Structure 1
Amino acid sequence: MATRRGFLGMLTGFAGGTALATYTSIPDRYLPPREQLPPAIRPSAAETNPRPSSVTRPEDSAFDEETRERAREVGLATREAVVYLELRAGNRFSVGTGWILDDEHVVTNGHVVSQGGEVTCYTVDGDTLALELVEASRDPDVALLRTDDEVPATLSTGAAERLDRDQPLVQVGHPGSVGNWIISLGRFGGRTGVLGSGDTLRSSVPSAQGNSGSPLVTLDGDVVGLTYASTMGQGRFPGSTPEPSDDRVRESFASNSSALHVPVETVEELVDEWTA
C-alpha cells in the first residue's frame, strides 16, 4: 500500500457558478492524528444497496427501467477507476474526486490540487495510490497526477463532440452530502461558455460539493467530460413579474442546477501536452 504525498487546491469561486470541491477549515485539535487519517471510506452496504427512500422511485424517474439498470451497471464498472482524494494543508481539510486515465495517470480538477499540500488517494477497494502532480490548469479546470503504483482499473475515453441533446449520462464521485462513489444519472443539456472556460458541457446529472474531478460517462462506459462546477437554474427573466408558487409548506428545497464539465477532448489535449 502506498504512502501519502501530493498537493492541495483551494476552493475559488467562479462568476456564475460553484466549484464542486469540499473544503473545511478545522482547528488542529479536532483533527485526528495523521497516522490515523483517514477513516475507512470503502462504500458501505447502505451505499451499495441504498434504502428505497434514498433513491429515485421508478415511478418518479425520467428514465425507463432499462436505462436505469444500464446506468447502474456502467456506474459500478466506473467505480473501479474512480479515486477519492483527501487533501490536507495545515488546518484545511478538503475532498475531491479523480479518475484513472491510464496505467500511471490520474485526472482531476486544477482547483482541487493546484495549491500544494498533502493528499491521500483511495481506490474503491480501500487501497491507496501515491501521487505526484504533473501539471494543473485553472482554465480549463484540469489537473494531471502521476503514480508509480499499480492501478486497479482505467477508463476509456469517448467523444464529447458526438453527444446528442438529452442523451443519458452517468457520473461517479464523492458528493459529501450524499456519500462516496455515488452513481448519478442525468441528460446532456448542450454546450455553454459559462465560467470563463470556453466550450463547456452542461448536463442535468446530480452533482454536489465533492464531485469536483468526477468522470462523466456515456452508457457505453466512455468518459466524455470532467466535472468541475455547477450553476443554478434561473427562475425567471429579469424584469418579468414574479408569481407566487404553490402553497405547500416545504421542509427542504431541491435546487434546479446544471452540472458543468470540461470536454474530454480538452482533457486529452492537455494530457498530451503535459506528458510530451
Structure 2
Amino acid sequence: MMLKRFYSSGLILLLVFLASSLSVPARASFPEFTELVEKVQPSVVSIQVDVVRWGRTAGRSGGSGFIVDDEGYILTNHHVIDNGSKVTVKLFNGREFEAEVVGSDANTDVALLKIEPGKQKLNPLKLGTSEVLKVGEWVLAFGAPFNLEQTVTAGIVSAKGRGEVGSQYVPFIQTDVAINRGNSGGPLINLEGEVVGINSMIFNPMVSSGLSFSIPIDLVNNVRQQLLESGVVNRGYLGVQFGPVDQDKADAFGLKEVGGSLVTRIYPDSAAEKAKLQEGDVVVAVDGKPVRKAQDLPYYIGQKMPGDKAQLKIVRNGKERDVEAVLTDGAGRIVSVDNGSNQLGIRVQALRDDLQEAYGVRHGVVVSEVMDKSPAAEAGIQNGDIIQKLHRTPIRSMDDYQAALADLPERGKVAVLVVRPGRGSDFLVIQL
C-alpha cells in the first residue's frame, strides 16, 4: 500500500514537472506586449464625424487615428472623414479638439488632419518602414472598434502586396489581427513600436474571418507629403487596361515564367500610346523593379508624378525590350472604388478573374458596400451585386463605370442592370 502511494506520488510529481518544463518554451515564444501598449496608446486618437450625405445630416460616424508630430498632425483613413461636416478628435486623456482636414486621398484611403493642441503635450508615434516587414512578424492594431476606445489586438503579418483586394494603388498588408468597424484609421504597430501601416478594412464586415488589411506606411508617407504640400495627390498615368498572367498566358505570350501585367487595352492619346505600347505586351518591370503581379503595375506608376519617365521592360512576341513612357496627369481618369460613388451611395470594385468564374459572368463591377439609406439602398441594391449597365452605359470595366457616373443626372430616375449570383439579372431603378 505504501509502495503504491509512493509510485503514485512520484508519477504525479513527474507529470507536473514535465508539464511545467514543456510549457516554458511555449510561454517564452510569445512576446510581451504590455510595455509596448503603454508606449503607443497615448498617441492613438478616436475620431467622431458629423456626416452629411445627399445634402442631409446623416448622423455621426467614428473611427481612429494617430498623432504623427508635435504640431498636431494626425493620420487616418479617407473613408473615416468622408462626407464629414465636422471632425472631432479625442485624445488619450479625454480632451477633444475640432480637426481641420488638411487633405484626403480616396484612391489610397489616406487622410491628414490637423488640430491646434495649444499647451497640450502630444505624443507622436515613430513611423517605421513597411518595406522590411516580413510575413510571420508580430504586429498590433490600435483603435476604437464599435466606439470601444483604446482597444488593442495582436496577430501576425499573413501576406504583403495584396493589390487585388481594394484600390489598385495600394499593395495592402494582410494580417490576422482582429479589427472591426471603428478600427479604421488606427495604426498597425511592429514590436519596435513603429507604425508600419494604417488599418483600413476587413475582408467581410459580416463575418470574423481573420483577414484584415492595412495600408503600408511607405505609401502613406508619400501621400502625406503631397497632402502637406498641396492638399491633393497627383499621380502619373500610363493609360492602359491590364490583367493577370497565368500559366496558359505565359506560354502563349512566350514568357519564361508566370508573372507580369498583360496589356489588354491602350487608351487614345495616352502615355502608353505615345510610347508605342501594344495590346499583348507584358510589362515585367518598371524602373528596374519586377512586376510579379498585375497589380504591381498601377502601384509603381501611381508612385510617380505627371511628366516623370517610366522605364518599362516588356515582353513582346517572346522577346524582351525596353520602352520609355512619359507619364501624363491621371486626374479625373483614375480607377477608384470610391470616386463619385457617393451620388449613388455605393462602393464598387473590379470584377476579377476569380469572381468571374464564381459568378459566371464576364463583365461588370461588383458592389462592395451599400451605404445605409442611400439611393442605391432604397432601390434594393445589395453587396455582391454585379452592375452591368448604368444609365444606358454598358459597364465592362471600372473605366466604364467612372464614365457612367460622370454622365449621371443630378436628379431623376436611373436604371441599373444588376446580376445577382444565383438569382439572375434585373433592372433596378435608383431615384437620385
TM-score grouping bracket, smaller chain normalisation:
0.5 to 0.7
Deviations 1:150-186 (A, max 9, x none): 4521000111110111100011101117x21011100
The CA deviation string for residues 66-90 of structure 1, in whole angstroms up to 9 with x for no partner, is 6442x23212211101001111233
- 2:65 corresponds to which letter in structure 1? G
Note if 1:142 corresponds to 2:110.
Answer: yes
The corresponding residue for 1:242 is: none
122, 126, 131: which is aligned to 2:99? Answer: 131
> SS state of the match for residue 195, structure 1?
coil
Partner of 1:237: none
Match of 1:118, SS? strand
For structure 2, list consecutive stretches of 5 or more residues without a partner in the other structure. Answer: 1-25, 52-56, 230-432
| TM-score normalised by structure 2 residue count | 0.42
Identify the residue that residue 153 of structure 1 maps to in structure 2.
123
Unaligned runs of 5+ in 1: 1-62, 234-252
The 8 Å contact of residues 177 and 210 in structure 2, kept in 1 or not, is answered as no
Q: Could you tell me which of 104, 109, 128 is aligned with 2:77?
A: 109
- Cα displacement (A) at 1:232: 4.1
Count of paired positions: 193
The percent of aligned pairs where both chains have the same amino acid is 25
Please give the alpha-carbon distance, in whole angstroms, between the structure 1 residues aligned to 2:222 and 2:121.
22
CA distance in 2, matches of 1:165, 1:187: 7
Q: Report the Cα distance in structure 2 between the residues aligned to 1:142 and 1:75, rounded to whole angstroms.
A: 24
- Equivalent positions of 1:180-199 (< 5 A) are 180-191=149-160, 192-193=162-163, 194-197=165-168, 198-199=170-171
CA contact (8 A) 1:75 1:171 kept: no
Q: What corresponds to 2:215 in structure 1?
A: 262
Q: 1:65, CA displacement in angstroms?
A: 5.2
SS of the residue corresponding to residue 64 of structure 2 reads strand
For the aligned residue pairs, the C-alpha RMSD in angstroms reads 2.1
Q: Separation in 1 of the partners of 2:130 and 2:184?
A: 18
- Please tell me the residue identity of whatever aligns with 2:216: P
CA 1:122/1:65 → structure 2, altered by over 3 Å: closer, same or farther?
Answer: farther
Greater share of strand? 2
Give the structure with higher Rg (CA).
2
TM alignment of 1:1-276, pairs within 5 A: 64=27, 67-69=30-32, 71-89=33-51, 90-103=57-70, 104-149=72-117, 150-176=120-146, 179-191=148-160, 192-193=162-163, 194-197=165-168, 198-232=170-204, 255-276=208-229
Please say if residues 175 and 210 of structure 2, whose CA atoms lie closer than 8 Å, have aligned partners that are also in contact. no
Deviations 1:120-178 (A, max 9, x none): 2111111122310011111101000112214521000111110111100011101117x
CA shift in 2, pair 1:126/1:199, >3 Å:
same
2-structure distance, mates of 1:82, 1:68: 21
Contact 1:232 1:257 in 2 (8 A): no
CA contact (8 A) 1:72 1:183 kept: no
| CA shift for structure 1 position 196 | 2.1
Distance 2:68 2:41 in 1: 13
- 1:19-63 C-alpha deviation (Å, 9 max, x unpaired): xxxxxxxxxxxxxxxxxxxxxxxxxxxxxxxxxxxxxxxxxxxx8
Give the corresponding residue for 1:250. none
Question: Normalising by structure 1, what TM-score?
Answer: 0.65
Q: Tell me the secondary structure at the aligned position of residue 177 of structure 2.
A: coil
Residues 76 and 111 of structure 2 are in contact (CA less than 8 Å); yes or no, is this contact kept in structure 1? yes
